[in-house]
Amino acid sequence: MKRTTVDDLHKKWMKNPEYRREYNALEEEFSLSAALIEARSRAGLTQEQVAQRMNTTQAVVARLEGGGSMPSTRTLEKYAKATGTKPKISFEPEEARH
């Protein structure tokens, strides 16, 4: 018997227009979280160290990285400074809709 993986389920569910729409709506949120975590990881820092550099708490950094809210530009700039990076915001055309 073949085991079903999360990737297999995701591929199957992506055929469902409602699932695909909701998944794509979350893509922006997940990509920001991934970018924050990647910046911290490249800097070799813990959440606590980033929090100290931002003059905030580890819990705030965890929430930022968790994607539970959309941080302000000012907060992103503080996070970038704390991780030795700089934020880059771009506007890209939406994919053609069917």
- State pLDDT tens for residues 44-74: 999 999 999 999 999 999 999 988 778 999 9
To the question of pTM greater than 0.75 for the whole model, the response is no
- For the domain made up of 7-82, the CATH class stated in words is mainly alpha
Query: 2-28, pLDDT tens digit by residue?
Result: 788 877 887 888 899 898 888 887 777
**CA-CA distance, 63 to 41, in Å (whole number)?**
16
Amino acid at 35: A
Q: Residue ranges of the domains in the chain?
A: 7-82
Alpha-carbon distance of 77 to 81, in angstroms, equals 6
b/e map 43-71, b = 16+ CB within 10 Å: eebebebbbebbebeeebbeebbebeeeb
- Look up residue 24 and give its two tokens: 């794509």
